[in-house]
Structure 1
Amino acid sequence: MLLFRKKGHSMPTKTPRFNRLFQIVRFLRVARLLLWTIWVMYRERRRVVRAHAHGDYTEGPNSDVLIEVLVAFRETAVELGVLMIKLGQFLSSRADLLPEKALGILSSLQDEMPPAPFEHVMYMIESELGKPVEEVFSILERKSTAAASLGQVHKAVLASTGETVAVKIQRPNSDQLVRMDLSALKFVIWIITRFVDKNHFVDLMGVYHEFKRTVYEELDYVREAANARRFKEMFKDDPMIYIPRVYDQYVSRRVLVLEWIDGIKINDYAALDAAGIDRLEVAKRTVCAYFYQFFVAGFFHADPHPGNIFVKKGSTGHGPIIAFVDFGMVGSLTKHMKRFMKEVFLAYITRDSRALVHALSQLGFINEGANFAPIERAMSLMMERYHGMTLGEVSELEIPEMVQDVEYLLYGQQLHIPAQFAFTGRAVGTLVGVSTGLAPEFNFVEVATRYARKFLGFDVKNMEQTLKQLFNQLLDVGRVLLTLPRSLEQVIRRLEAGQIEVKLASNGPNGWKRLHESGRSNGDPSGMRGFAWLFMFVASLAGGIFLLTDSHQFIAAWFCFGLAGLITSAVLMKS
């Protein structure tokens, strides 16, 4: 319950900043911890990749060494808080950096901390909103409902309307601590990148910039309010997804007021059962909401842990309503990323390892120059083994066998998670965990297939037989035709530079002369008209294939195919 200041008390004083000595000590402590942790991770990956490159596929990462290092990291992260907890959570989703056993050490890191003093809460509200607390809220609970590394939430009632709201306040000195820890992280990455082989490790600086961007966005509550409005607009036509309202007059960089959500936490299984809510339906709706965010909107909630998803009982016959909160960590997908994520999605449904590997390559998951054949075989074996299983069945498999499969792909085949997908992978991993807990009988492929048929414009009944063959054939032809202009340009440049020697062979000493004269007799002195017709034919055919395989714009694609046929007819009639 609210305990306002007693009359006559002045506004709380500003939280003191850190002195120079504290900053230096913290910088050195964080840098030492990160330097050792990242170096051991790199050393293990390099050793495994080198062994596999020499044909020794029995070699794996030394989990005991990594666990020892990560236990020390976890203990220090809990003590230092703020950015170090965020970094530990981030690493816990990087299966390309750590083996399964080691990931488990960091997965237990929870973004929970003791709340900041209530005096700080009052100071932040008054300094950020420019009004006394009593003018804004008639009730402001002293006890926070959630306290994380960067901020905390208090339940309140607006004085003007009597509406119940959630007040999010940034923790004291969060921005200063984040700057200090990020500078230490950047320093460590700068040192390590001077000594590592990039082919044996991920793009550390790219990961740093992605991590930095996300953390600073989380610190800006004005941006979070904009994210919440965007999500509300995205799901305005879906009554089964609920996004809380933003109170625009009470938004600043460090204070945010949102509608209070009365619901059941998605991992409170006893409460869900007591309310008569179908947990399988909750899992389906949550996953489908993410399918929409990934493949249609290209904008997704990047932190779907149980504390950020609530379930409300819908009206009779309409099932549960899924409510999302906390929009500080979001991700965006470009058209290129959406296109090939869609291809990964469909390739998995159809068990097409070739298309899957091609799409992963286009997204940057496969190192440049890697041999696709063994990756395709490994993907094919994994899909054959796990395709169509429920999440419960997968979780009951022999863990060592699954771990061996994953580690072989990530370590032996030089796969990695690109920086721009760092938080996409984290969101997917968290979502799978939430869905498994909700309903072990949840079948991902079944739900994905229905979604593909309904929202992506595919009839999936005969996908296995028809789409797979057509996709492969068009993809092969499309790859060749789409790279033809670039290849021709490269050849021409090399010819002009004298780097290619051309030898012409003809039927007899006057063969070339006869060919040239034939072109001239048809009114084409240079012989380029035929090349022009050929180029237009190739461009039309390639455009049709591109439209068909990229965004499935069938009308535009068949127009291009018709144009290619028209060009062929014109050439035949002319000849």
Structure 2
Amino acid sequence: MNKGLKYKLSYRSSVMVWMTIKFIFKIYFFYFKNRVWDERTLQKWNALVTTMAKEYREKAIHLGGVLIKVGQFLSTRTDFMPDAFIKELSGLVDRVPPMPFTYARKLLEEEWGEDIYHYLDEIQFASVASASIGEVYHAKLKDSGTEVAIKVQRYRVREIFHKDFKALRIVFWLISVFTSFGKKADLPALYRELVTVMNKELDFDQELNHAHYFQDRFKDNEAIHIPYYMENLCTKKVLVIEWVDGAKITDTNYMYRHQLSTEHIARTIFDFYLEQFLNPGKFHADPHAGNLLIQPNGTVVIIDFGMVGEVRKQDTHYFKRLIQNIIMDDYDRVIEILDEMDFLLPNADRKKLKRLIRDTIELYQNGAFHMVDMNTMEQLKEDIRLLIKDQPIQLSAEYAYLGRAISIVLGILLAIYPDVDIQKWAKPKIKKWFGGRNLAESIYKQYVKDTVKPVLSYPKAMLNWLENGEKDRQWDNQKQQKNLKHHYFIFLEIIHFILLLVSIGCSFVGYYVQLQLVTHIALWGIGLFSILLVGLLYKHYNVIRDKM
């Protein structure tokens, strides 16, 4: 197949849209054939989902771009994705075939404005890492002899991602119209989150800023090292980073050879990430074993800050209130807080959800964390997954990435030090987090404070309701009109896309296929007419959009 097709909007869109239509049809056909769900039906369903996930993974590796990132994102979405699909996609490693060094050299010289050997003494032509967005090379600087890792954006990656965003919009529309996901999930919000997250990863300036942030935040932590960046050589498409030798954090044999304490290293990682998960600020959202290195002296090195999430001040307030009310067995409040966090969609059965949360927590509240093993962790994750899937719950991208990061870190801790005692290690941190020496007393005080606060706010809330009722009605009307316009534009984009395919198809047949002259002219006429319609629709779309 012509490799140039990979970069064409029509080809990439066709692959993504056709795969979506095929998956939807297979699901409908399965439900049509299997009216009764028993153990055998469930096995067949899992087999079907696994087959679709494998096809998705193959297409993602072939095309790269957004499909890989979407696959990674979906593997975190236990709130609406099938378990078998998530299991298959969890093996989707962000690795694609390496690009030719000639492109990397050309891009480096364009970004630096000089021949690469003006700055480099040597560079290895074979990349040491190849991902969907960047390619990494090992090099040595000319002036200082310093070894560096040079991260270069892949060939036409920004163009590919923005083409895929257009196709992804159609895919989301198909899913929202023809599947039950549209009722359970807020797909427009998911689309916006995906585009926002992936756009951030395309901007290497963002990654550089993130690295500076973590360097400053953990500058006093001698057990952690954040590699420094050669800022004079860094651009939006190139990063030049200190080269760091070390083994993967899960290589316990390496630790034994260098007489390192696995317990001490596990504790270092635990403290580093707990600080990020509990307190406001950014957190390292991709803490897999390849991004955490261990050096011979026991220093833990954190690399790759392309994927970074954020814990807001309001989030920490929510987390504290959740813990307080779980400890006080006030599950009505727990549901209210989940509502405030926008976890629950309008059609969620809150009474059933309250019972499920209470039963799940009571199942584990008497267990000792130092007895936790990998099987118990997997069972706990499975119980939480079932809890989430049973009800219309949707996590924002930030919470999904936070949950994924916590899960990965726990897995790494157990791999390094199976006797990890989470309860013992966390207790002093949680005490400090609640701001009191007596944890029970501080929780009780905050609980009383939160209980009284709504009562004191009733008079003010009543006054605001009386004053703002008319404004709210006007706002609702405007919001409804905005939604109608949004759907209208999506409809125009779909018509635009279909006519574009028709014009391309007719032109292709008219050019390559030997037909009678009349038929040949007719096909060309249809093609040209479709192109004219595309132009008129596009002009109409832009004129109306500019007036809004």
TM-score, length-scaled by structure 1: 0.71
Shift of 1:289: 1.7
- Looking at secondary structure, tell me which structure has more helix per residue: 2
Mapped to 1, the partners of 2:413 and 2:370 lie a distance apart of 8
The number of residues matched between the two structures is 461
- Post-superposition Cα deviations, 1:535-563, rounded to whole Å, max 9, x if no partner, equal xxxxxxxxxxxxxxxxxxxxxxxxxxxxx
**Structure 2 gap ranges (5+):** 471-548
Question: Would the alpha carbon gap of residues 240 and 116 (structure 1) be closer, same or farther in structure 2, given more than 3 Å must change?
Answer: same
5 Å-filtered alignment, 1:132-281, equals 132-194=115-177, 200-281=183-264
Change in 2 beyond 3 A, CA 1:344/1:136: farther
1:23 aligned partner: 9
After superposition, give the CA deviation of every residue in 1:506-534 in whole Å (9 maximum; x if it has no partner). Answer: xxxxxxxxxxxxxxxxxxxxxxxxxxxxx
Aligned-residue offset at 1:133? 1.1
Separation in structure 1 between the aligned mates of residue 278 and residue 404 of structure 2, nearest angstrom: 17
How much has 1:251 moved relative to structure 2? 0.8
Larger radius of gyration between Structure 1 and Structure 2: 1
What is the rounded CA distance, in whole Å, between the counterparts of 2:82 and 2:374 in structure 1? 17
Partner of residue 549, structure 1? none
1:348 Cα deviation (Å)? 6.6
Cα offsets for 1:102-130 (capped at 9, x unmatched): 32111111111232112122112111111
Please state if 1:409 is matched with 2:395.
no
Distance 2:103 2:397 in 1: 36
SS in 1 for 2:283: strand
What's the CA shift for 1:413? 2.7
The answer to whether the Cα contact below 8 Å between 1:31 and 1:187 also exists between their aligned partners in 2 is yes
Equivalent of 2:372 in 393, 397, 402: 393
Q: Retained in 2: the 8 A contact 1:147–1:153?
A: yes
Match of 1:374 in 2: 352
**Structure 1 contact 150–174 (Cα < 8 Å) conserved:** yes
Shift of the 349–65 alpha-carbon distance from structure 1 to 2, 3 Å rule, reads: farther
Question: Which whole-Å CA distance do the structure 2 matches of 1:483 and 1:272 have between them?
Answer: 59
Question: Contact 1:234–1:297 (CA<8 Å) still a contact in 2?
Answer: no
| Kept in 2: contact 1:409–1:415 (CA 8 A) | no
Q: What is the deviation of 1:339? A: 2.1
Q: Provide the residue aligned with 1:303 in structure 2.
A: 286
Map 1:409-428; keep pairs closer than 5 Å: 409-428=387-406
Structure 1 residues 36-51: aligned runs within 5 Å: 36-37=22-23
Q: Which residue of 2 aligns with 1:362?
A: 340
Residue equivalent to 2:496: none
Residues 180-218 of structure 1 show CA distances to partners (whole Å, capped at 9, x for unaligned) of 222111111133334566784222221222221222221
Q: Does 1:33 align with 2:25?
A: no
What residue in structure 2 maps to residue 332 of structure 1? Answer: 310
Question: Pick from 106, 110, 118: which aligns with 2:89?
Answer: 106
Secondary structure of the corresponding residue to residue 244 of structure 2: coil
Is residue 433 from structure 1 mapped to residue 408 from structure 2 by the alignment? no
The counterpart of 2:465, out of the listed 482, 490, 496, is: 490
* Matched residue, 1:476: 451
Match of residue 63, structure 1, among 46, 68, 78: 46
Q: Does 1:117 align with 2:82?
A: no
Q: Which runs of 5+ in 1 are unaligned?
A: 1-15, 46-50, 52-58, 315-319, 496-575
8 A Cα contact 1:218 1:329, kept in partner: yes
Sequence identity percentage? 27
Q: Tell me, what secondary structure is at the counterpart of 2:121?
A: strand
1:159 is displaced (CA, Å) by 0.7
Indicate conservation of the 8 Å contact 2:71/2:89, yes or no: yes
SS, match of residue 288 in structure 1 = helix
Q: Retained in 2: the 8 A contact 1:390–1:440?
A: no
Q: CA deviation at 1:165?
A: 1.2
Q: Structure 2 length normalisation: TM-score?
A: 0.75
